[in-house]
Structure 1
C-alpha cells in the first residue's frame, strides 16, 4: 500500500472501538464524524472534501439537524474516510485489502492466553488449510444439492424470525462457494441444480439488502439471480426474481417500473412449462400492488380478482416450487388488504388485514410487525385512534425482535401520522411504550 493511501486510513483503535462500531452500524454519521474529528484529527472541512459533501452539510449532520440516508452518500463516506464496507452494511469496497492477503497489524495485539495458545496449536495453519482444500474431493451428489436446498429453507425461516442482517455473511459465503463449484466441469443435471441453488442464494441475499433498504446492493444481487436462472432457462424462477424487483420498485415509489417488472415476470411465467396457479396468483397480487401505487382503482381490483381466481384453482397435486410455498391463503388475504390500503380503501382493507393477522404464525416476527402497522394505519384512516394505537403497541414486540428497516419505516410512518393526536391518551400511551421498547426509532426520520 502506498503512503498516500495509508495516510487516508483511520486508526485501528478507532475502527475497533465499540462506540465507533455501534455508530457505524446505526449509521449515526453525526457521531461518526465527531469520533473521526476527536480520534483521528480529521476536521469537518476535511471530512467534506474526502466525502464530496459541503462543509455546511457536514456541520448540520454533526449538530443533529440532518441525517444521511442515500446509499451513494453512505458509499462516499465509506470510501472517503476508509471505513470498511461491512461496518456500514455495504459490500466490500474496492480499496479494501483482498481477503486472501495477510495484513501486518499496525498496533500491538494482546498476547493470547495459555489456554488459547494450546487450543490454537492443535489447528492447521492457513497454508495447510488451503492445500487440504485443493486436495479434497468435491464429488457432488443429489444428496448434497438437497442439503444445500435445506440450508436455504432454514435461512428463509430465520430471516422471517430475526431479519437477514446477521444471516447475510453466511448466505453470501455459500453463494460464492456454489458459484465456485459451477466453474468446474460437471454433468448437465448437476450444473442445472447448482445454477438453481446459486440463483436462490443470490435472490435471498438481494432480499436481505432490500429488507435493509439498501436498494443498490439489492438490485445487484437480484440481477445476479436473474442471470443465474436465465443460464439454465428457469423461466419460473426468473419470474420470481422479477416479482421481487417489482416489489422493490413499489417501495422505492417507482410504480411505473414496478408494473413493467411484474409484467415481464408474468411473461416469463407464461413461457415456462408447468407454471402453477399459486405462482400466477402471487404474480397477479404483485401486479395489484403496482396498480394500487399508481392509483389505478379498476386495474387494481381486476388484478386482485385474477389473483383470487388463480388461487381458487390450486390443487394439492400442483408441483409448486419451494420458493412460492409462503403464498398461502393468509398471505393472499393480507396482500389483498394491503392492496386496498394502498388505494386508500381503508374500509375494505381493515377487516382483511385483521383477519390475516389473527391467522399469521407467531414466529414470523417481521410479517406480524409489518402487517400490524398496516392494520394500525388503516384503523387510523378510519378515525379509530384508540384501536390504531393498541394495534401498533402490539406490533412493537415483534418489531423489536427482528432487524428490518422496512418494518422500522412503517413504524416511523405511523408515528408521524399520530402527530395531530399527540395529546390524546392513546397516543401518549403508544409514545411511552415506543420509547420503552424501541427508543432509537422515536427520533428516526421518515422513509424517503
Structure 2
C-alpha cells in the first residue's frame, strides 16, 4: 500500500481497500468523487490519476497523510477527531463525515498504512545508513514522473536540507561522509530540477551550484557532469550553454555508466541545437546512441538518477533538436513514433514533447495537424504544476494565431484562452 501511494498507483490502493478492508468501489467512488466505473477500471490497472487536484482530493477523502503521496499536509491532519461516528449499517454521518480510512480502522486497512515518516537521524552514520537514504531519495524521485515541480519542490528541498543537517550534526567514517556528500549533490539536483520546473529559476541555479560543489567534494565525476548539464540546460546565453555542456561531457571517463554518458551527450545535443550548431547536434546524438547501444557490463552500476534515459527518450530528444533547427521532415517522423510509445501518464513531459511536434508541423505547413497536436498538449498540461508546458506552447499558439480563420485552429485557440 505504501508503495502504491508513493507511485500514485490509486488503482492498487482501491483494490487493496476492497480486498483487505471490504470497502466497495461504489463507496470509494462516492468518497473520492469519481465515477464507480472509473474506480473499477483503475483497480484493473487501466489508466492513472495524473492531475494534482485529483491526487489531493483522493488523499483527503481517504485520509492519507500528505507526505505519503508527496504533498503538503491536508487541513484535516491538524483537525481534532470527530466527536460522533459514522455507522455504515445505518448510513448516518456526523457533522464532519468520517472517511474511508477512518471507517476501516478496525478492518485492517489503516494498519496497512504506517506513516512514511523520515527515520530519526543517526548519531553515527554508517554505509548502511547512507544506502537507506539513497533508496528513499530514489523512491521520492518517482514523484517527478507524475507531478510537476510546483508540487514536488518542497518535498525535494526538505530531503536536501535534512541531509545538510545530518552532515552538520552526525559523525561519519571518511567513506560514509563522502557518500553522504554525494547524496547531497544528487538531492540538490533533484530539488533544483523541481525549482526549474516550477518557475523558480534563481533557486534552481543556486541548487545546481550547490550540487556542483558537493560533487567536487565527494569526487563524484558522474554527478559533477550532471550538475554542469543542468546548469547548461537553463542558461539563457546559447554559446555559454554550449561551453557549460562541453564541461559536462569532459567529466566522462571509461568507467562512466552508459546511461550517464547518454544523458550528458543528449544535453550537449540540445545545447548545440539551441545555439544553431547542427554538426554539434549530430555528433552528440551519435555519441548518445552509441552509449545506449553498449550493454552494461555485468555488475556495472547504473545510477537511479539517470536510469530513465532510454531509446525512446533519445528519439524524443532527437526530434526536439531537429525541431529547434527547423528541420521538420527529420523531426516529425521520429517524434510521432517515439510519442506513440510514450504513456500519457507522464502528462507534463508528454505535453512538452508534443509542443515540439506541433512546432515542426507548423514549420512544414501542416497547420491543422499542428492545431490537433497542440490541443492534445494543452489537455495533458491542464492541472500539472509546471510552468514549462505553457511556456513552450505560447510561441506555438502565437504562430497558430495567423491561421485563426481555420476551424481547427479557432477551436484550440479558444481552448487555450479558456
Give the TM-score range, shorter chain. Answer: 0.5 to 0.7
Contact 1:155 1:167 in 2 (8 A): no
Contact 1:373 1:410 in 2 (8 A): yes
Instruction: Tell me whether 1:150 sits opposite 2:135 in the alignment.
Output: yes
Q: What's the offset of the Cα at 1:198?
A: 1.2
Q: CA RMSD in A?
A: 2.4
Q: What's the offset of the Cα at 1:426?
A: 0.8
Aligned to 2:388: 406
- What pairs up with 1:20-59 in 2 under 5 angstroms? none
Q: What's the offset of the Cα at 1:218?
A: 0.9
Cα distance between partner residues in 2 of 1:335 and 1:316:
26
- What pairs up with 1:19-418 in 2 under 5 angstroms? 138-183=123-168, 184-249=170-235, 252=236, 254-270=237-253, 274-315=255-296, 317=298, 318-418=300-400
List gaps (5 residues or longer) in structure 1: 1-111, 118-134, 440-448
Deviation string, structure 1 residues 128-179 (Cα, Å, up to 9, x no partner): xxxxxxx985444445433322332233222231102122222222211111
Cα distance between partner residues in 1 of 2:416 and 2:242:
36
Q: What's the offset of the Cα at 1:275?
A: 0.3
Q: What's the offset of the Cα at 1:193?
A: 2.3
Aligned to 1:85: none
Q: What's the offset of the Cα at 1:357?
A: 0.8
Q: What's the offset of the Cα at 1:182?
A: 1.0
Aligned to 2:11: none
Contact 2:124 2:172 in 1 (8 A): no
Contact 2:278 2:325 in 1 (8 A): yes
Contact 1:162 1:401 in 2 (8 A): no
Contact 2:123 2:171 in 1 (8 A): no
TM score, norm. by length of structure 1? 0.63
Cα distance between partner residues in 2 of 1:314 and 1:234:
22
Q: What's the offset of the Cα at 1:266?
A: 1.3
Are residues 337 and 136 of structure 1, via their aligned partners in 2, closer, same or farther at CA, if it must alter by over 3 Å? closer
Cα distance between partner residues in 2 of 1:343 and 1:114:
59
SS at match of 1:401: coil
Cα distance between partner residues in 1 of 2:286 and 2:334:
15
Are residues 346 and 185 of structure 1, via their aligned partners in 2, closer, same or farther at CA, if it must alter by over 3 Å? same
Deviation string, structure 1 residues 54-110 (Cα, Å, up to 9, x no partner): xxxxxxxxxxxxxxxxxxxxxxxxxxxxxxxxxxxxxxxxxxxxxxxxxxxxxxxxx
Cα distance between partner residues in 1 of 2:393 and 2:343:
20
Are residues 312 and 113 of structure 1, via their aligned partners in 2, closer, same or farther at CA, if it must alter by over 3 Å? closer
Are residues 227 and 292 of structure 1, via their aligned partners in 2, closer, same or farther at CA, if it must alter by over 3 Å? same
Are residues 401 and 151 of structure 1, via their aligned partners in 2, closer, same or farther at CA, if it must alter by over 3 Å? farther
Contact 1:340 1:346 in 2 (8 A): yes
Instruction: Tell me whether 1:425 sits opposite 2:407 in the alignment.
Output: yes
Count of equivalent residues = 304
Contact 2:404 2:410 in 1 (8 A): yes
Aligned to 1:93: none
Aligned to 2:68: none
Are residues 180 and 390 of structure 1, via their aligned partners in 2, closer, same or farther at CA, if it must alter by over 3 Å? same
- Greater RCO structure (CA 8 Å; 6+ sep): 2
Q: What's the offset of the Cα at 1:429?
A: 1.4
Contact 1:163 1:366 in 2 (8 A): yes
SS at match of 2:187: helix
Cα distance between partner residues in 2 of 1:137 and 1:255:
45
Q: What's the offset of the Cα at 1:233?
A: 0.4
Q: What's the offset of the Cα at 1:282?
A: 1.9
Cα distance between partner residues in 2 of 1:113 and 1:394:
40
Cα distance between partner residues in 2 of 1:292 and 1:267:
19
TM score, norm. by length of structure 2? 0.68
